[in-house]
Amino acid sequence: MEIESTLKMETDLAIKGYLDIELDPELDLIAEINALKKEKNAVILAHYYQDPDIQDVADFVGDSLQLSQEAARTPADMIAFAGVHFMAETAKILSPQKKVVIPDLKAGCSLSDSCPAPVFAKFKEQYPNHVVVSYVNCTAELKTLTDICCTSSNAVHVVNSIPLDRGIIFAPDKNLAAYIEKVTGRKMVKWDGACMVHEIFSREKITKLKIKHPEAKIIAHPECEEAVLALSDYIGSTSGLLKFVQTNAAKSFIVATESGILHQMQLKCPGKTFIPAPPNNLCACNECPHMKRNSLEKLYICMKYELPEVRLSENVIRDARKSIDRMLEISAHAGLS
Ligand code: 13P
Ligand code: SF4
């Protein structure tokens, strides 16, 4: 009976995404989280799009590729993944023996949602002998239907690794796919998905900003639409954008990606100015609503109660892992980290 009720509680919590409990407002969350790290031999991995307080308490902050590399090599027993669900799944696939917890189970991704595995399986049947390259922003099930995963840091290397006589299906991001086609000169069959955050930037408003700040460099993530990329002085993954602002002589930058990255830019370059690229209406749409579901409170709770946990079947882990391992091999060969 006791076991049953514990199991039920676990399921309820997992569905809810986090424990709905009142925390003592006096609780020093940073100190508590640091104590939990030691007590549970846990590591906190955070994406650049997380809120600054989460980035600051994390052991490692990085882009999707760096986070997966870190998940594969960490000696910790538990990974608290402050990012979105597909990222935590990737960590679980690479470290199946570890417990992977996430502050909010509902932290999804519009790209991942755009490409349900059963629908993609039918789509794929139309293109026999094509190599399937999937952006890592997809479900574990989709990864089982994929030959090689990629991130925005290594997509060019992944596509260039495929023999010229092989067709390629690229899923799920059509904007990243179009950008890779341009860089590599390879035509690909593209899935029609897009990121809700990167699609919203306004070319007109960025142009107006540039007129106001002519000295500023425009930098953009390749998930942005072609019209925005065409205005950009530099296009790259989150880690690429971060490197660019540190090494480029310019003093100000208009940044077309999720605004969480500005925290590391400001920390690394305190003397420079970073202007978030404006969305095409008055919303805060340059913030990813999925990434922003996580909070310091939820991070504390998920580490304390080790819930919600990311769980995947052995078959999914085995089949999805091949496409991620292939990506990591190509990245290591290209010296990407
Ligand atoms: P990066 O791999 O560049 O960090 O991108 C992750 C992401 O979700 C972009 O929207
Ligand atoms: Fe997905 Fe876009 Fe959010 Fe990245 S920013 S997690 S691609 S919805």
Q: Which residues pair with 44 in a beta bridge?
A: 80
Total domain count for the chain?
A: 3
Task: Return all residues near 320 (Cβ < 8 A) that are at least 6 apart.
Answer: 89, 93, 140, 141, 143, 144, 146, 312
The protein residue with its alpha carbon nearest to ligand 1, atom 2, reads 64
pTM of the model: 0.93
Instruction: Please determine, for residue 4, whether its predicted confidence score (pLDDT) is greater than 50.
Output: no
Distance CA 117, CA 139 (A): 8
Burial code of 30-59, b = ≥16 C-beta within 10 A, e = fewer?
A: eeebeebbeebebbbbbbbbbbeebbebbe
| Index of the ligand 1 atom closest to the CA of residue 198 | 10
Q: Are residues 265 and 245 in the same domain?
A: yes
Beta-strand relationship, 189-190 and 148-150: unpaired
Distance CA 303, CA 209 (A): 42
Residue pLDDT, tens place only, 72-120: 999 999 999 999 999 999 999 999 999 999 999 999 999 999 999 999 9
Q: Is 225 inside any structural domain?
A: yes
The protein residue with its alpha carbon nearest to ligand 1, atom 6, reads 64
Q: Which residues pair with 27 in a beta bridge?
A: none
The protein residue with its alpha carbon nearest to ligand 2, atom 8, reads 109
Q: Are residues 68 and 40 in the same domain?
A: yes
Q: Is 283 inside any structural domain?
A: no
Residue pLDDT, tens place only, 117-166: 999 999 999 999 999 999 999 999 999 999 999 999 999 999 999 999 99
Give the CATH number of the domain where residue 119 resides: 3.40.50.10800
Q: Are residues 145 and 167 in the same domain?
A: yes
Q: What pLDDT does 20 receive?
A: 66
Instruction: Please tell me if the CB atom of residue 288 comes closer than 6 angstroms to any atom of ligand 2.
Output: yes
